[in-house]
A and B are shown apart, each in its own frame.
Chain A
Amino acid sequence: MFSRICSYLLKTIFWRRKSKTRDTEETDDYGCWDQLPSGVLVKIIQQISLGDCVRVSLVCKSWSLDIKQNNFPNRVQAAWLMLPLDRVNTSLLRFYDLFEGRTYNFELPKNLQGGWCCGSSKGWLAIVYGSKFNPKFSLYNPISGIQFPLPPLITLPSSQGFLDRMKQSINVAEFIKKVELSSVNAPNCIVAATFDVHRTLAVCKPGDKRWTAVLEEIREQDDDFASDILFYNGELHVLTSAKTAFATHTIKLGDNDDDVIVKFIPDNFKIMFHKPGVVWYPEDESGIFWITKDISIPKIVWIAKDLSVKSYLIESDGELLIVHKTNNEIKSFSVDDGNGQLVIPRVIRFEYSQANRFIVFKIDDLIGSMRRTRLDNLENQILFVAESGSLCVAARDIKIGFKNCVFFLGDLNYLNSNVNTNRDPYVYRESGVFYLEDGRIERTFPCTNQSVHCRMNWFSPNILF
């Protein structure tokens, strides 16, 4: 922090000194670039990155004013990758701008240090912190430094069950799956969140004393009851694996008179792809990229293509999209001996979900029903998907040559699945880019060791000029 302040000060002094020298040398000999017509400046701004835009706004007052007047706060301005919170230097919040190739550092306020980030929405991060058994939960905007407390998690009945179940390897951050804001204006927005392996869906307004549960499923089998949520046209859209029809409900918020309209979208795709009694077939071990700890143990490797599906809701250029990611499941079992006899596998040594492809549908909300249209071309929109929050940016807004592609992050969780099991830990590399054109996947992101408990986020900073 200290060095950062120093560098600002130095820079500021340096700038002043330089401009002073210039003032004396070239008195009154300024050009007319500060009078660039507003429409032209806006066109230039559209071609530069968010960071450049901030710097350009500090060139002179007339440019600053033009940018201020033409800034649309609801537009997604950039897609930054939030790097996992540093568990040692807990005051540091780091974002990586993929397209500028730069890392931005922010100081996390004292009370949030040591907390866990559970996701982000519209320029806000959801951070859970404090005591394990009565954790605090807040929204934090790293750009403005403003935070808003959310109602305590213990006001959700399912939190107690979760805490009881997870006594051993608890990380309360895992209780929160996704947080979604209805608008960038946090103090007046509605916050929706899914909890407990997507079984619970609840809403609140910042400042409320408690969460209002929309639906709280108690049956443990109903994982992914609300597998993704998204505010679209002011209504909360809920993707559900439950066998419901397309349905609309109106929910009253607990502490005030606000209503939330909730629309359930059945995730048929999952049911369509689900093959009961799927055949697992062995494949040559050498052809598979994962790493196991001990290669001396004889193993059989099994793979099943497109076995599981994870779906995401995204708003893209005013349209509601649903993106399905299909995974190949790879498993390796220990066998009892190496005599060439195939023994019935008993112990899972290793299992891995490998992203295979992405399928995008547009959803049209017709009265009482909905229509899906498959999209093969996203035009110049680029999708960024992750369980903790997805977003869509126009390629021209982030100045990149990519098009018709989906950037994806591995949906890792905060629970260490290796605790109390004898499975091998693995390196996870299911983050990258999928190209709709030819179905190619590039895994350009660094691998993650699953045991580091990182959940990766996309973050769209919300800059007010």
Chain B
Amino acid sequence: MAIMYALKSSDNEIFEVEQKVIEQSETIKKMIEDGAATGEIPLQVSSKTLAKVLEWCKQRQHKTVENENDDNKGKRKKERDEDDDIKEWENKFSDELKADKDVLFDLLLASNYLDLPALLSFLCQLVADMVAGKMPEEIRRMFNIENDFTPEEEKAITAEHGWAFQP
């Protein structure tokens, strides 16, 4: 029988999660080890974001468990198929985040706060791919960021690093 923990989101929603799934978060793992996690574990994460976080953790956990149960026979082919499945799942996950930048931002903060290194680096790579090859104004528009440089400042920096702005 798997040990379950109750996570409480910042908007007071309760999520029942297996210990193995939630231990991917170094922050929560430490709380459990320290014995601080009795009853509900309150988290500074909204229910919408927490649901997304858990979606990620469950997918990762699913993969680890299956690999442990495999014998060597046919493992290679199975691994290949699994890799394809995971890729497909990750692509879908990325597309949803790309479409909703607010969720992406909250998820970045949550993965940083919960110390989920795999999710954090996945998200950072996603953002890196989104900004690659783009001009500052395109990035501002994409993430809805205000340009707080004065025209003079902007001109000076653009001139100083002219090579990076060559078409």
Contact = CB atoms under 8 A, between A and B. Distances in A.
A34 B134 CA distance: 17
A58 B154 contact: yes
22 contacts: A12-B154, A12-B155, A18-B137, A29-B144, A32-B105, A33-B101, A33-B143, A34-B145, A37-B109, A40-B109, A44-B127, A47-B124, A47-B125, A49-B132, A54-B161, A55-B139, A57-B157, A58-B149, A60-B146, A60-B149, A104-B163, A105-B163
Contact of A31 (B121, B145, B158, B167): B145
B162 A8 contact: yes
Interface string A25-49: 0100111111011011001101111
Contacts of A29: 144
A40 B145 contact: no
B65 interface: no
B1 interface: no
A33 B128 CA distance: 14
A298 to B, nearest CB: 52
A56 B151 CA distance: 17
A104 B167 CA distance: 9
A22 B140 CA distance: 11
Given A31-B101, A59-B140, A19 B147 contact: yes
A16 interface: yes
Interface string A99-120: 0001011100000000000000
Interface string B86-130: 000000000000000110010011001000000011001101110
A341 to B, nearest CB: 60
A51 to B, nearest CB: 4
B62 interface: no
Interface string A301-313: 0000000000000
A87 interface: no
A50 B135 CA distance: 13
A141 to B, nearest CB: 12
A40 B132 contact: no
A350 B133 CA distance: 46
Nearest to B149: A61
B99 to A, nearest CB: 14
Interface of B: 101-102, 105, 108-109, 112, 120-121, 124-125, 127-129, 131-137, 139-141, 143-149, 151, 154-155, 157-159, 161-167
B136 to A, nearest CB: 4
B136 A58 contact: yes
Contact of A22 (B101, B141, B161): B141
Given A34-B146, A44-B124, A59-B140, A12 B151 contact: yes
B144 A33 contact: yes
Interface of A: 4, 7-8, 11-12, 15-16, 18-19, 22, 26, 29-34, 36-37, 39-40, 43-44, 46-52, 54-61, 102, 104-106, 143, 463
A191 B127 CA distance: 41
Given A43-B120, A56-B131, A30 B105 contact: no
Contact of A4 (B102, B124, B166): B166
Given A19-B147, A31-B143, A51-B164, A8 B159 contact: yes
Given A19-B147, A32-B105, 4 more contacts: A33-B101, A46-B124, A52-B134, A55-B139
A52 B127 CA distance: 12
A30 B135 CA distance: 18
Contacts of A52: 128, 131-134
